[in-house]
Amino acid sequence: MFVPMQISSKRKAFGWRVVPALALVAMLSACATHDVGESTVNGEATEAGLAPDLEGQLSLADASIAAGDYAGAISLLRRTIQVHPEDIEPRLRLGDALQGAGAYTEARSTFQSAEKLDEQSAAAKVGLGRAELGLRQPAAALAEFDQALELEPGNLAALNGRGVALDQIGRHAEAQEVYRHALTLSPGEPSIKNNFALSLAFSGDFAASLEQIQDIATSPNSGPQVRQNMAVIYALMGDRNSAARIARVDLDENAVQNNLQFFETMREMQDSQRTASLLQGQEYPKQ
């Protein structure tokens, strides 16, 4: 199954991988679970891994998340919130980390607590929208993204998330208009083009879907997620050879053949059934 990516903004956020479901075990690494203890920041030891200032603490959390250590980041950010209970940023980062760890219910509660600190925070509303998507509540997610866009009409993360929510509801034509609008604000943005391509595939327009994804999938900076999305689109178009060729860039032969068999099954489904299957792997917007 293939899934949309989302964009980042000025605030560091962490989200989602895009790989066929049959290859998840091979391609996703486990999160580390070591405890956060003493660390040294600028030569100064700090208790419980906390840096002497808020920015330092957030930087440590960012480094943990970048290394895939969500447990360490979550522990650190919880301690940071105890020290800085009125600052919204650690709560936003904690929500990101919890989502990265798949703890969507707790992420939702964390973003709700951030929203209480600042009801005008578009970032908190986008975070809530992402959490609702993780919980398979696209209507609730759509409401959060709409509120974020009322505050910041050009917020690309909110626009991208709105498109994902509309796709999950099945309103693909509306989702595609959202992506088109987002691309007028940020032409060529890879994550938006990726989501646009997937939306077109959801509605059965595979040729247009392939046109959207080809340039980003063949970019030197392209990762396995986008390439595997393109392989899926080729498979759904009936071009098994191209699908296999692209899939082999990242997957072993057993995974390639398993995925091709799954895609053949999807081709035989009704449109609504196929869309439901594809959406099972959907991931969530970054901020």
Task: Tell how strand 39-41 and strand 44-46 pair up.
Answer: antiparallel
Tally the residues of the chain. 287
CB 90 within 8 A of CB 107: no
- What was the pLDDT predicted at 264? 82
Contact status, residue 109 vs residue 139, Cβ threshold 8 Å = no
Cβ-based burial of 177 (10 A; exposed 0-12, middle 13-18, buried ≥19): middle
| 85 HSE (CA, 13 A, CB side) | 1
* CB 264, CB 258: distance < 8 Å: no
Mean pLDDT in each 10-residue stretch from start to end of the chain (287 residues)? 43 34 26 33 43 85 91 95 95 95 96 96 97 95 98 96 94 97 94 93 90 88 88 89 93 92 77 58 47
- Which pLDDT belongs to residue 70? 95
Report the pLDDT value the prediction gives residue 126, as an integer from 0 to 100: 97
Q: Residues near 249 by Cβ (< 8 Å), separated by ≥ 6?
A: 224, 227
pLDDT tens digit sequence for 13-46: 323 333 333 322 222 222 333 333 333 333 333 4
pLDDT the model gives residue 257: 92
Distance of CA 186 to the CA centre of its chain: 18
Question: Which residues make Cβ contacts (< 8 Å) with residue 171, sequence separation at least 6?
Answer: none
Q: According to the model, what pLDDT value does residue 51 have?
A: 61
